[in-house]
Structure 1
Amino acid sequence: MLSSLTRLQRYYLYYTGIFLLFVVLLAALERAGMPARWVGYAFLVFTVSMYATIGVFSRTTDVSEYYVAGRRVPAFFNGMATGADWMSAASFMGLAGTLYLQGFQGLAYVIGWTGGFVLVALLLAPYLRRFGQYTIPDFLSARYGGNTIRLIAVFAAILASFVYVVAQIYGVGVITSRFVSLQFEVGVFVGLAGILVCSFLGGMRAVTWTQVAQYLILIVAYITPVAILSYNVTGVPVPQMVYGQVLSEVSKLEEKLFDSPTELEVRDRYRERADQYAQKIMQLPHSLTQERERLSIQINELKSSDVQMREIVLLERQRRELPQDPAQARERWEKEMYEALARSKPPLRHAEPFPGDSEAERNAQRINFLALIFCLTIGTAALPHVLMRYYTTPTVAQARQSVFWSLLFIIILYVTAPAYAVFAKFEVLSNLAGIPIAKLPGWVAAWAKVGLVSIEDINGDGIMQFAELSLNPDVIVLATPEIAGMPYVVSGLVAAGALAAALSTADGLLLTITSALSHDVYYRVFRPQSSTQFRLVIAKSLLLVVAVLAATVAAQKPGTILSMVAWAFSIAGSAFFPALVLGIFWARATRAGAIAGMLVGLSLTVYYILRLEFGGYSWLGFSDGPLNPWFHLQSTSAGVFGILAGFVTNIAVSLMTRPSPQAAEFLERIRRPGGREESP
């Protein structure tokens, strides 16, 4: 049977077998007494070493190999590499967590991301491959002419990819800080080393073959714990088939827990806290002075009494951490007020589509659900690091086939994510809610140190109510094996899978950024006469600079993984999709129209994200304060405005300007069925 496989297939079959044997060996060592920390170290060292080995053996000094893997990647393996490139930390860590917290509404991510590949197959992949070349700015410059649109495309590609790569490196920091006990900021830069070792030496060639290896690890790691959990709960190890019956059990538990007297009491306490913060904000600056005086009086009283020093130290720290001025106090207290207000509301029922206290609130949720699907679908079809993968196949036919394989490999994870969320919620509701806080399992304290889990006994009864538990969505997948009481080797396996997902996408994104800078800016615009060797030196130097900058931003924890990724999709969709689609299917589209459409769409999307999510442009020295959402849309759906504005602007300006005479010839070349692919 092995003799009928290709050499590549045999290599990866051996690789998978070695990895599975390694997992079995670690399981045996854990049973023999190996400490959990060493299990985490073993997974980290073993997997990163394997990726590094592939990267070293795939090193190259050939430009075509570095940028597009020599256009020799078979459709099956390109589909697997695209699957790994696509299934980032957002898919692996964030998707099931969002489904856990949002239930039905989280399905917008599944629908949008998978639907986007249909657009890729129908509208973009064949034409990009027939065009040849290396990057999306290459395509836009050839279609519309001139370096202006190339530079705008480079800026948009860098912005979207940078936001996306920050999310991946943030995910790496979360993984390493929990499973190998590194400080979060240190873990970020350790993960960065793993990213660089794969992409630095061999570019797209090394990234492609590393991503195939990473896909195999991440899919095994994702399915294994939920399959074990499914078997333990239902007796069937196929969670995709049986999670419906577990969902009905979850609904019964929600009905029992969420309306219990203790849960209602806890939510009332949070509502009272929100009211207290609202009063403090209204009474500024007097309330800040009053708060400082109150703490000082308490500290003096405790010092004169017979109490433990720990209580005094705690109050002194609270006084030190008080806001320094009324503006800072307003910002902090408003944040805490909204957090308390959110926890005072009844939790979302997992199977309830659009809950709300009024029809207006339910309609707003419906609008956001549909808008998010739209943004993710369009964004998927416009992400530069995904579209670049279709330059690597030998033929146009294989580019189409690789879209099919990509979707198949991605769906395996996406049909598992809803089951993951349901089984995780079943475990939390069954085994965690209602137990004494003093008897909480160790994983709660371990994840609390990372800052992704918090417990607050707000009613002081010593029992953990569901409303007193706060789980960051990024922790659900990583913590599920511990929540379910599985051996630690399963937790290590999941961490290795999450690391593979984050590293694979980060590799592709960093390569997109550096390709845009070295190929599209340095080579195409400033130094077209530069040698091949020097171009690669520039590319690798920029790779280091961009990677370190992204790690520095990720260390600041700018947002959740899924929200950062959604922003990247909106940015990419608004900047690229109108220009690409109109450029392929409408000969009347002009350079001026494409430039205007890209600038308007991108600017509007970035404006909406910054104003809604960050309150303005204080980093530029001015701010108009937070923006009220347009049509109730959240920042994750900002691309709705940019994409529509991009299309309208592109069409309107194109109709007012003269098309390029070369446009018809270009379109005839990329549309020619069976036409010969161009080489750079």
Structure 2
Amino acid sequence: MDLQTMSLIAVGLTFLVYIAIAIWSRAGSTEEFYVAGGGIHPVANGMATAADWMSAASFISMAGLIAFLGYTGGAYLMGWTGGYVLMALLLAPYLRKFGKFTVPEFIGDRFYSTTARAVAVICLLMISLTYVIGQMRGVGIAFSNILNLPITLGLLVGMVIVAIYAVMGGMKGITYTQIAQYVIMIFAYTVPAIFISIEITGVALPQLGLGSTLAGSDTYLLEALDRTMTEIGFGSYTDRPGMGTYNMFLLTLSLMIGTAGLPHVIVRFFTVPKISDARKSAGYALIFIALLYTVAPAVAAMAIYNMTTTIQTGPVGEETANLPFDERPAWMDRWESTGLLAFEDKNGDGRIQYYNDANPEMAAEAEGYGWAGNELVEFDRDIMVLANPEIAQLPNWVAALVAAGGIAAALSTAAGLLLAISSSVSHDLLKGIFMPTISPKAELMAARISMLVAICIAGYLGLNPPGFAAQVVALAFGLAASSLFPVLMMGIFSKRINKEGAIAGMLVGLITTMVYIFLYKGWFFIPGTAPLSEPDGWILGINPSGFGVIGAILNFATAYIVSGMTKPTPVEIQELVENVRVPRAQV
């Protein structure tokens, strides 16, 4: 059976599972819609949380990041997983004890202000909308690239599936669907990795295969990869220049506190029966995430090894080592049609040749042999995982499994983000501020309508992403780190911070981070503007991806200064903080 047919069957079966779960777990109350009735087991919640967190960026882009960034890509592994440690220790149990439905609701009650709640909603919407653009785009790309469908049709199909199980089931339906999606994702990611590890190194566990020798050889995989990469002029794989210790530290910390402040992840800990279960859920989520994240470095190295050995030019001048264009593998031809992989035969010799222009000696020697320059003109890092089974010549059912996994990853996170958006609109804005007397039935209907509207907006942005969409994930984490994480921390651990301090802190953190990132990544909503020069123009050399830490510091500082200049926190709120923070017997 051909790859497209196999992929359609695999994805179609998974969609049937999602729809069946949605019908079975239809939400009948606002509590079931927002927090799944608060009755999800910690293990199940940990699995759903892992699926909620591991988006298309984790499934599709993680290995590509590591493959192209080298050790610097480890910042994403450390930051994203480390954030769960912060969440488990500092946020999850206390927010669960507070017993509310949403993050803005906690902020509004803790800081005794509907204005604080409204500002928190603005922060949540900014974070979630920027994040969901990438997820919905990922749905369309997965369909377009793997199933050979137009991206518009693929995205529309994804929107319909999300609408069925998210609008109908709410958090209850999303939770059980995400459990199924996690199982699909982990199999889709690890099964090809195991096959490829055995093929290259003879070791079944990819984590161990990464440090093993090539099958039938005394040469280590990383040693062979270093030699191959050096021969073609791209530098050693294991010793690449990164972003520097300073920016790597800022990026890691920004991703950590950004993870801990993501509203669609935090709300997952409101769905368990007891306070202690919230911390257990975070622990289980770390285990489930580790099953994929510890495999990512091996997938990165093995994918780029297979890719470079397929199209390796070898030492300059050895034409027999250059891949004839007409004899390129089928996977190259298919990915070229997507625009994510492209070659240009600049000297008309019918071969695929490339070298790094940063190596002037190699460039000069190449020109002496008639090479006109780097003929690998486009290689999108996002194709690493998706193309990996084809590059390794694995069976079509393995590639189809990866297709289902990539779509599951995008849909699972998109559903969580859309629910966070819907809840903030219906529960925090409508019921919490504008229509406090609305009936539960009307609120549930408003939640479903706002979910549909959010899906339409997300779909439109996915089809028509702004110029800034490529950095949308970094922006989302920066916004979460600079706006919500500090106010949640201060709300739990400081009785001194009052409503004026919280509002000022959130606004300063949000605005400064947005301005800095937009300055250096482009004001996509203002025609004719362009990003400032980078990295020379960065303030104090700070990479925009790690600026969330600076925004968080400004948030904390502003909140403490403004709180010290205004009325102290009321006594009853101080008692509330004490009650939330101090452990009780029944947890």
Q: TM-score, normalised by structure 1?
A: 0.78
Q: Which amino acid aligns with 1:634?
A: N
Cross-structure match for 1:674:
584
2:524 is the counterpart of 1:637:
no
Q: Is the 8 A contact 1:63 1:536 kept in 2?
A: yes
Q: What displacement does 1:459 show? A: 4.2
Cross-structure match for 1:16:
none
Name the CA shift for 1:111/1:623 in 2 (closer, same or farther; >3 Å).
same
Q: Is the 8 A contact 2:230 2:236 kept in 1?
A: no
Cross-structure match for 1:516:
424
Once the two structures are overlaid, the 10-residue window that deviates more, 178-187 or 212-221, is 178-187
Bigger fraction of residues in helix = 1
Q: Is the 8 A contact 1:184 1:450 kept in 2?
A: no
Structure number with larger C-alpha Rg: 1
Cross-structure match for 2:394:
486
Name the CA shift for 1:506/1:525 in 2 (closer, same or farther; >3 Å).
same
Flag as ranges the 4+ runs of structure 1 deviating above 6 A.
559-562
Q: What displacement does 1:464 show? A: 2.0
Name the CA shift for 1:249/1:42 in 2 (closer, same or farther; >3 Å).
same
Cross-structure match for 1:367:
246
Q: Is the 8 A contact 2:496 2:568 kept in 1?
A: yes
Q: Give the one of 164, 174, 178 matched to 1:207.
A: 174
Q: Is the 8 A contact 1:251 1:349 kept in 2?
A: no
Cross-structure match for 1:504:
412
**In structure 1, C-alpha distance between the alignment counterparts of 2:347 and 2:544, rounded to whole Å:** 34
Q: Is the 8 A contact 1:578 1:650 kept in 2?
A: no
Q: What displacement does 1:78 show? A: 0.5
Cross-structure match for 1:227:
194
Q: Deviations 1:486-524 (Å, cap 9, x if unpaired)?
A: 111111100101111111111110000010000000011
2:486 is the counterpart of 1:592:
no
Cross-structure match for 2:301:
422
Q: Is the 8 A contact 1:253 1:430 kept in 2?
A: no
Q: Give the one of 1, 6, 12 matched to 1:45.
A: 12
Q: Deviations 1:553-579 (Å, cap 9, x if unpaired)?
A: 111344798732221111111111111
Cross-structure match for 2:326:
438
Cross-structure match for 1:242:
209
Q: What displacement does 1:60 show? A: 1.8
Q: Give the one of 546, 571, 574 matched to 1:664.
A: 574
SS of structure 2 residue aligned to 1:200: helix
Name the CA shift for 1:95/1:406 in 2 (closer, same or farther; >3 Å).
same
Q: Which amino acid aligns with 1:70?
A: G
Q: What displacement does 1:463 show? A: 2.6
Q: Which amino acid aligns with 2:561?
A: A
2:435 is the counterpart of 1:527:
yes
Q: What displacement does 1:675 show? A: 5.6
Computed over aligned residues only, the root mean square deviation of the Cα atoms, in angstroms, reads 1.9
**In structure 2, C-alpha distance between the alignment counterparts of 1:481 and 1:424, rounded to whole Å:** 9
**In structure 1, C-alpha distance between the alignment counterparts of 2:451 and 2:573, rounded to whole Å:** 34
SS of structure 2 residue aligned to 1:236: coil
Q: Give the one of 348, 351, 356 matched to 2:238.
A: 351
Identity %: 39
Q: Deviations 1:195-214 (Å, cap 9, x if unpaired)?
A: 11110101000000111111
Q: Is the 8 A contact 1:474 1:560 kept in 2?
A: no
SS of structure 2 residue aligned to 1:245: coil
Name the CA shift for 1:645/1:495 in 2 (closer, same or farther; >3 Å).
same
Q: Give the one of 188, 193, 196 matched to 2:155.
A: 188
Q: What displacement does 1:99 show? A: 0.8
**In structure 1, C-alpha distance between the alignment counterparts of 2:481 and 2:440, rounded to whole Å:** 32
Cross-structure match for 2:488:
580
**In structure 1, C-alpha distance between the alignment counterparts of 2:120 and 2:494, rounded to whole Å:** 19
Q: Deviations 1:230-265 (Å, cap 9, x if unpaired)?
A: 011111111111212369434444435544xxx5xx
SS of structure 1 residue aligned to 2:244: helix
Matches within 5 A, 1:376-387: 376-387=255-266
Gaps of 5+ in 2: 215-219, 314-322, 356-374
Cross-structure match for 1:216:
183
Q: What displacement does 1:642 show? A: 1.2
2:309 is the counterpart of 1:400:
no
Q: Is the 8 A contact 1:102 1:350 kept in 2?
A: no
Name the CA shift for 1:455/1:558 in 2 (closer, same or farther; >3 Å).
farther
Matches within 5 A, 1:563-574: 563-574=471-482
Q: What displacement does 1:466 show? A: 4.6
**In structure 1, C-alpha distance between the alignment counterparts of 2:279 and 2:251, rounded to whole Å:** 26
2:514 is the counterpart of 1:547:
no
Q: Is the 8 A contact 2:2 2:396 kept in 1?
A: no
Q: Which amino acid aligns with 1:369?
A: M
Name the CA shift for 1:466/1:60 in 2 (closer, same or farther; >3 Å).
same
Cross-structure match for 1:198:
165
Q: TM-score, normalised by structure 2?
A: 0.90
2:536 is the counterpart of 1:648:
no
Q: Deviations 1:115-166 (Å, cap 9, x if unpaired)?
A: 1011101110010000011000011111111111101100110110111111
Q: Is the 8 A contact 1:125 1:399 kept in 2?
A: yes
Cross-structure match for 1:172:
139
- Paired positions, count: 549
Once the two structures are overlaid, the 10-residue window that deviates more, 366-375 or 196-205, is 366-375
**In structure 1, C-alpha distance between the alignment counterparts of 2:426 and 2:288, rounded to whole Å:** 32
Q: Is the 8 A contact 1:591 1:659 kept in 2?
A: no
Name the CA shift for 1:348/1:525 in 2 (closer, same or farther; >3 Å).
farther
Q: Which amino acid aligns with 2:236?
A: R
Q: Deviations 1:345-381 (Å, cap 9, x if unpaired)?
A: x5353211535xxxxxxxx532221111011001010
**In structure 2, C-alpha distance between the alignment counterparts of 1:419 and 1:621, rounded to whole Å:** 42
Q: Is the 8 A contact 1:354 1:366 kept in 2?
A: no
Q: Is the 8 A contact 1:669 1:675 kept in 2?
A: no
SS of structure 2 residue aligned to 1:510: helix
Gaps of 5+ in 1: 1-33, 264-345, 356-363
